[in-house]
Structure 1
């Protein structure tokens, strides 16, 4: 299954097309046991906002002799580059987080990772929603990942801004405004045009996140279910690109820089009124709002509605590379971090919605208010948004196509550098340049 040529090619391509990798300081995998053989260091590499810091301390306290050395890389794209560079050259951590968008490429080198059935993961199979467990299983039936979160999506919106535009600002009213259970992208963009006309301001931050949400709703995205590239000549993709192009031409995106949002000030200053929100993005948004000097009074809220219906964006798995010197201990840590009890704590710390059924049910029942989002019961809303979510097959270069093909073209539309047809043509040129079948 493993192809050294493929590993080198993916590592080189990822390094060439990714933004400069944040210096992560990852150590070589495995710690060094003490002379007594009792003390070990376990290294862990995650990315983005995982909410694990307090859990690491809790695990260390409950397991004397175990020290966790954690590295968190800024984005999933940079984590992909880091992982494939180290698969090719060595130096993976004992536990490595894998993101949904590049799981397909990991599956092509899945024998670089431990079969977790050797450590009893099959006994927990029913803990997860079935498609999450299945996604972590390779073509040979080896299970290489403990599921962490999934990414059901709702709409984050700024109630103060909608109220100023003469629109409903309560959660139920906003859901109805956008079409309720039958919400469509046409509804979303139509309301955006009304908001733009009333305020002169943008409706959402930038187009690539909207595009990603649209693609994730399709039965098949950039790849067919049997692994064939599925972009050129794809009528469903082209139709949605047309919707997005019309919205960009109408001035609905603010053109905010992704993952920075001008130091978070775009969230605070009212530069846009709505935002695509999978569960994990709530934690990202919280950090950005606070960085920009905002708080609960800034006006953000979370509605149980999403254009086009149920969608999943993101989610991750914890893997144990075969090069780990402590696979048993690493698997035990990954197992513990993904237990329902820990997934609840992870959600409370970072907004990441659990992939385990028990944790989902608890969040739905508790309906705990989130102060930053106007006391919205975000866990219960995400549980509602998770209904009907079906995992989309992600091919080996899925994240590359999203980040280095369509993200680039979407930015061109937002800036006015290209219209929809030109941007699509540019995307096809990039696709041919970067993706070799």
Structure 2
């Protein structure tokens, strides 16, 4: 599920037990005559509970009881997980890891996790997108994380607001607005702004568009040797420049993603476009409820990219490593990834699942109109097949947040000069990464 991702979609279950207070799995559940309890600790919405997969697994494995909890904020979750790993307490038997943290885990925390390869994961290798499989490996080739989903990018837009602004509404015609890439997207935004729709901006935030642009580049914040390159990478410079056109040009609603105000803006019409990785589909549906057919989906400017996706890992502190690995492998297998897609829209990282007709041929009647529902499976499937193999670094999420939540927000919400804001980004990244 993102970065944000922060992989967050609409229906996040609030769980009373915090991650740091959860004990390791007990050998039995006390009331269940020898049943092994596996504790699954995740963030956001992985879709397993929503798709009924935990209940299905327990029905097929009567000796297993699954206790599941999730935290909405992936940053809070990651901080708690790091604390639990350092103390070897409060861990689940299966833990989620977000894509922006996976390199930190594989490089710096490999000794804290089980090698899932010999425990059944190796059988799935040829089913995965190669780059997704590789991201979950430690430097010496151990399988630390099994991919759950990926975030191929599209663009979601409000058909009704486009029509009011005099812009086309059909998917192909909308995509043609930005056939020249992100410059075309900004130019379309200027047309929308000129229409003067009260209370409506072109997009939610320049930060979201920056993340989408960066996701289209194989080179982002680090190079393959682990050195920071963000401050001299043309892809970052170009994404920053386009984001500044949006932020300083009054094209955004100046919202912060994954906040209550942002959630509410999906229904109130405060913005007409939002960068739309596959997991955003479920989020939009969850926020807008009965307002079907106002939103639609088309291809993204500038090609395809990945934003988000997660992994399953088993801490060495688990008392039930094989049983936990069995569950993780089962959840990562094609039938289960198909079931999650059908329920939440999380796009499979398993290529067999992505090629399944239930995914490939899926059209969502919530998007588009009744006569022409959005071909979600084709749009995201085509994007997934062309994703760049991105180089990830150990502090990717730190650098990204200092650029987006720091640098872009200072320009967008506070009116700071872009050059001054970027200079502070560089100082902040240096301080944070040493």
Q: Please, what TM-score do these two structures have when normalized by structure 1?
A: 0.89
1:360-391, CA deviations, whole angstroms, 9 ceiling, x for partnerless residues?
11258752221322331212210011122022
Q: Secondary structure at the match of 1:232?
A: helix
Asked if 1 retains the 8 angstrom alpha-carbon contact of 2:335 and 2:353, the reply is: yes
TM-superposed deviation, 1:261: 5.0
Segments of structure 1 that go 5 or more residues without pairing to the other structure are 1-20
TM-superposed deviation, 1:37: 6.8
Segments of structure 2 that go 5 or more residues without pairing to the other structure are 1-13
Match of 1:187 in 2: 184
Asked if 1 retains the 8 angstrom alpha-carbon contact of 2:155 and 2:274, the reply is: yes
Distance 1:376 1:206 in 2: 24
Match of 1:198 in 2: 195
1:269-292, CA deviations, whole angstroms, 9 ceiling, x for partnerless residues?
1111111111112222222223xx
Deviates more, 1:383-392 or 1:358-367: 358-367
Q: What is the number of residues matched between the two proteins?
A: 408
The 5-angstrom pairing of residues 346-365 of structure 1 reads: 346-363=340-357
Match of 1:281 in 2: 280
The 5-angstrom pairing of residues 324-363 of structure 1 reads: 324-363=318-357
Match of 1:155 in 2: 155
1:109-132, CA deviations, whole angstroms, 9 ceiling, x for partnerless residues?
112111112212212211111111
State which of 394, 401, 417 in structure 1 corresponds to 2:399. Answer: 401
Match of 2:381 in 1: 383
Asked if 1 retains the 8 angstrom alpha-carbon contact of 2:361 and 2:377, the reply is: yes
Asked if 1 retains the 8 angstrom alpha-carbon contact of 2:153 and 2:305, the reply is: yes
Q: Please, what TM-score do these two structures have when normalized by structure 2?
A: 0.89
Q: Evaluate the alpha carbon distance shift between residue 225 and residue 69 of structure 1 in structure 2; reply closer, same or farther with a 3 A threshold.
A: same
TM-superposed deviation, 1:326: 0.6
**Superposed CA RMSD:** 2.0
1:145-187, CA deviations, whole angstroms, 9 ceiling, x for partnerless residues?
22110111000111111111111111122112221xxx41101
Deviates more, 1:98-107 or 1:388-397: 388-397
Distance 1:48 1:234 in 2: 31
TM-superposed deviation, 1:234: 3.3
Match of 1:18 in 2: none
TM-superposed deviation, 1:49: 1.8
Asked if 1 retains the 8 angstrom alpha-carbon contact of 2:255 and 2:262, the reply is: no
Asked if 2 retains the 8 angstrom alpha-carbon contact of 1:24 and 1:73, the reply is: no
TM-superposed deviation, 1:232: 2.6
TM-superposed deviation, 1:39: 0.3
- Is residue 311 of structure 2 the alignment partner of residue 317 of structure 1? yes
The 5-angstrom pairing of residues 25-424 of structure 1 reads: 25-26=18-19, 27-33=22-28, 38-53=34-49, 54-90=52-88, 91-107=90-106, 108-179=108-179, 183-200=180-197, 201-262=200-261, 264-290=263-289, 294-297=290-293, 299-303=294-298, 305-363=299-357, 366-374=360-368, 375-424=373-422
Asked if 1 retains the 8 angstrom alpha-carbon contact of 2:48 and 2:54, the reply is: yes
Distance 1:355 1:130 in 2: 10
